Amino acid sequence: MNYKVQLTKTDEGYSVWCPGLPGCWSQGETEEQALENIKDAIKVYINAKIQIRR
């Protein structure tokens, strides 16, 4: 499944979040690092939601 993300440059690097998954966000020193980090955050978010439903 694909999710759209929003990426913003900050003073510390980059902030990234997934509007379709409330509360799912991450950050990174570089754009590439932030995008890799949000992939992990999305996986953790989805796995947590699955566990809650069980």
**Tally of domains in the chain:** 1
Q: What does the pLDDT look like over 11-30, one tens digit per residue?
A: 999 999 999 999 999 999 99
CATH of the domain at 48: 3.30.160.250
Residue 30 lies in a domain: yes
Residue 27 lies in a domain: yes
Residue 1 lies in a domain: no
Model confidence pTM above 0.85: yes
Residue 37 lies in a domain: yes
What domain range is 45 assigned to? 6-53
pLDDT of 12 reads 95
> How does 28-41 read in b/e, with b if 16+ C-beta sit within 10 Å?
beeeeebeebbeeb
How does residue 40 score in pLDDT terms, banded at 50, 70 and 90? very high
How does residue 1 score in pLDDT terms, banded at 50, 70 and 90? confident
